[in-house]
Amino acid sequence: MSPETALLLARGQFAFTIGFHIVLAAFTLGLAQFLMVLEGLWLWRKQQVWLSLWRYWSKIFALNVAVGVVTGVVMEFSFGTNWSGLASRTGAVLGPMLYMEVLVAFFLEAGFMGVMLFGMGKVRPWVHFMATSIVALGSFFSAFWILAANSWMQTPDGFVIGAEGRFQPVDWWAAIINPSFPWRMAHMVAAAMLGTACLVAACGAWHLLRDARHPAARHMFSLAMWMLVVMAPLQIVLGDLHGENTRDHQPVKLAAIEGNWNPPPPGEGEPMRLFAIPDMAARRNHYEVAIPDVGSLYLRHNLQGTIHSLNQYPQDTLPWVPLVFWSFRVMVGLGLLMTFAGVAGLVVRLRRRLFHARWLLRLMVLMAPAGFVAMLAGWVVTEAGRQPWTVYGLLRTAESASPVSPSLVLGSLVCIVTVYLALFGLGLWFLLRILSRPPQRDEEGAMPDVARRTGQGGAE
C-alpha cells in the first residue's frame, strides 16, 4: 500500500468518525436549547402540552446524547492513534483546549443530564429547570472549546515553533480567540439550530398531515418554523462573514470554493460559477456556467473586486478542488431552500394556514435532514478546503499521521464503519419508532422507573 493510500485511509477514518459525531453533537446542542425553551414555557404557562412535548423530546435527547457521548470518546483518542505526528507537535496548544472541553462541558452535561432526564419530581421544579439550562449551557461550552481547537488549526495564532517543530503557546487568549474562531462558532451554532429546527419541523409536519388539530404537533411545528425563519436568513449573513474571514486568512480555500483558477480579465469582477467540473490535472474548469461580476458582489461587496486564484499557487499546496467546490454548492443550495421554507412558513402563518398548507407540510417532511446535510457539506468545505495542511500553512497532513502500519488503519476503518453503521442503524430505527407516534397528553419521560425506584423522594 502506498503512503498516499495509507494517508487517505486515515483521513477517511477521521472524516467518518467525526462526521457521525458532529451530527450527534450538533443535534444535542440544538435539542438542549429546545428543551430549555419547552421547560421554560411549561413553568411559565403551566399548559400540559409543553410538558408532554418536553418529555417526548427528552427521550430523543437521551438516545441521541448516549451515542453522541461515546462517539466523542473515540475522537478524544484518535489524535493519538491515527495522528500522533499532529499530537506530539501541537499537543501543547490543542491539548488544553480539548481538556477544557472535558472539564467545563462534558462533566457539566454528564452530571446534570442525569437530573434533567430522570430527576423531574425528585428535585424542585426550578432546580430541574436549572439542570436543563446547565445542560444547554454545557453544550455551548463544548462547542466553544472544540471549535476553538479546530479554528486554531485553520488560523493558528498565539504560538511559537520550538525544538523539533513543536508548537508552543505564548499567548493563550490569542490562541483560543484566534482569527477564524468567532465566525466559525457563530456559523456552527446557527447550523446546529437549523438542523434541529428541520428535524423538529419534519416531525411536527408528519403528525399534522395525519391530524391537523393535534395540539402538540402544532406547537412543535410552529416553534420550529419560527426558528427557521429567524435563523436561516441570519445564517446567510453569518456565512458571508465567515466567508470574508476565509478570504483574508485562507485565500486558497476560498479560491477552491469559487473554482477560481485564473483572475478575471482586467476591469471585470469575479464571476459567480453555478456549474463547473474542476480539473486538477489541467488546472482549469470544464463546462463552466457562470454569471460575470456577481461573484465580486458577495466576495468583495462590490462589482470589480478580485480574490486569489488557484494558479497562483503550486500544485502541492492545493486541496482537491472538485470536492470543495461542490460541497459548498450543496451547502448554499440547502441554505437557500431552508430560507425559502422559513419565509414560506411565515407567509402561510400570517394567512392563518400554517397547519393546513399540505404542500408546506410535505416539503418540511422531505427537508428533515436538510439542516444537518448542509452542516456536513459545510464541514467538508472547511476541512477538505484546508488540505494539504492540518495546521494551516505550517504542518502538512502527511507529516501529522501516525507511524502505524496501513493494514492496521484499514482494519480499524472497516471495524469502525461496520460497528457504527450497525449501531446507528439500530439507534435510528428506535428513534424513528418514537417519532412515528405523536406526543400524548400523558406522555412519559425517559425511563420513569429511575425516578420512581431510586433516591429518597418519590416520583411526582
Partner 1 sequence: MSELLGLPWLQTLSAAALAGSLWVYVLLDGADLGTGMLCAFQRDADARHQLNLSLLPVWDGNETWLVLAAGGLLGLFPLAYAITLSALYVPVFMMLLALVARGMAIEYRHYAPRLFDTMLVGGSLLASLSQGVIVGSLIMGIPNDGQQFTGTGWEWLSPFPLFCSIALITGYCLMGAGWLNWRCTGSLEYRARRAIPWLSALTLVLVTGLLVWTFFLHETWRQHLLNPWLWGPLLTIAAVGLAVLWIGLSGQHLFLPMAAIQILVSCAFAALAFTLFPFIVPVNLLIQQAAAPVKTQQFLLLCFGLLAPITLAYNTWVFRVFSGKIH
Give, as ranges, the residues between 132 and 191 that touch partner 1 (CB under 8 A): 162, 164, 166, 168-170, 172
Scanning 203-211, 299-307, 313-321, 426-434 for contacts with partner 1 by CB under 8 A, the matching segment is 426-434
Stretch that binds partner 1, among 94-102, 235-243, 313-321, 380-388 (CB under 8 A): 94-102
3-state class of 184 per DSSP? helix
Q: Cell digits for 424?
A: 446507528
In the complex, what is the shortest distance from the CB of residue 397 to partner 1, in angstroms, rounded to a whole number?
A: 16
Asked if 346 is part of the footprint of partner 1 (rule: CB under 8 A), the reply reads no
Decide: 128 and 119 in contact? Cβ < 8 Å: yes
Of 96 and 322, nearer to partner 1 (C-beta) is 96
Cβ–Cβ < 8 Å for 257, 250: no
Among 32, 113, 208, 307, binds partner 1 (CB under 8 A): 113
Residue identified by cell 409536519 is 205
248 binds partner 1 (CB under 8 A): no
Complex with partner 1: residue 90 or 390, whichever CB lies closer: 90
Output the smallest distance, CB 117 to partner 1, in A: 8
Name the one range near partner 1 by CB under 8 A: 59-67, 183-191, 216-224, 296-304: 59-67
Q: Do you know the residue count of the chain?
A: 460
**Minimal distance, residue 376 CB to partner 1, in Å:** 20
Nearer to partner 1, 212 or 423 (CB): 423
Region binding partner 1 by CB under 8 A among candidate stretches 44-52, 263-271, 320-328, 412-420: 412-420
Among residues 8, 37, 92, 177, the one that binds partner 1 under rule CB under 8 A: 92
Placement of cell 457562470 in the chain: 290
Asked if 263 is part of the footprint of partner 1 (rule: CB under 8 A), the reply reads no
Among 130, 241, 410, 423, binds partner 1 (CB under 8 A): 423
Among 1, 3, 5, 114, binds partner 1 (CB under 8 A): 114
- The owner of cell 435563523 is 231
The distance of closest approach from Cβ of residue 175 to partner 1 in the complex, given in angstroms and rounded to an integer, is 10
Q: How far is the CB of 211 from partner 1 (least distance, A)?
A: 25
Q: Which residues of 93-128 are buried (b: 16+ CB within 10 A; e: fewer)?
A: bbebbbebbeebbbebbeebbebbbbbbbbbeeeeb
Do 318 and 280 contact (CB within 8 A), yes or no? yes
DSSP symbol at 393: T
For CA atoms 150, 153, 156, 161, the dihedral sign is positive
Q: Does 63 bind partner 1 (CB under 8 A)?
A: yes
Specify the long-range contacts of residues 387-390, CB closer than 8 Å, at least 24 apart: 387/319, 387/320, 388/316, 388/317, 388/318, 388/319, 390/83, 390/86, 390/90, 390/153
From CA 238, how far away is CA 241, in angstroms rounded?
5
Q: What track of x and - describes contact with partner 1 for positions 320 through 339 (by CB under 8 A)?
A: --------------------
Q: Give the nearest distance from C-beta 433 to partner 1 in angstroms.
A: 8
The correct pick among 15, 43, 69, 337 for binding partner 1 (CB under 8 A) is 69
Q: Are the C-beta atoms of residues 209 and 365 closer than 8 Å to each other?
A: yes
Q: Is 272 in the site for partner 1 (CB under 8 A)?
A: no
CA distance to 92, 119, 142, per residue, from 101 (Å): 15, 25, 5
Q: Which residue stretch of 82-90, 320-328, 333-341, 355-363 sits at the interface with partner 1 (rule: CB under 8 A)? A: 82-90
Please identify, among the stretches 57-65, 185-193, 232-240, 245-253, the one whose residues bind partner 1 according to the rule CB under 8 A. 57-65
Distance CA 261, CA 321 (A): 10
- Nearer of residues 114 and 333 to partner 1, judged by Cβ: 114
Is 428 among the residues that bind partner 1 (CB under 8 A)?
no
Cα end-to-end span (Å), the chain: 62
CB contact at 8 A, 204 and 217: yes
Single residue of 66, 237, 289, 432 touching partner 1 by CB under 8 A: 66
Task: Verify binding: residue 125, partner 1, rule CB under 8 A.
Answer: no
Residues in Cβ contact with 72 at an 8 Å cutoff, skipping those fewer than 6 apart: 21, 25, 106
DSSP string, 215-231: HHHHHHHHHHHHHHHHH
**Touching partner 1, residues 379-408 (CB under 8 A):** 402-405, 408
Q: Which three three-digit cell numbers place residue 43?
A: 413553568
Whole-angstrom distance, CA of residue 445 vs CA of residue 422: 26
Cα–Cα distance for residue pair 436/455, rounded to 1 Å: 33
Comparing CA positions, the residue from 399, 386, 397 lying closest to residue 320 is 386
Interface with partner 1 (CB under 8 A), residue from 37, 43, 104, 230: 104
Report if residue 111 touches partner 1, rule: CB under 8 A.
yes
Of 246-254, 301-309, 363-371, 444-452, which segment contacts partner 1 by CB under 8 A?
444-452
- Residue selected from 1, 3, 47, 80 as contacting partner 1 according to rule CB under 8 A: 80
CA-closest candidate to residue 251, choices 393, 379, 400 = 393
Smallest gap from Cβ 181 to partner 1, in A, equals 17
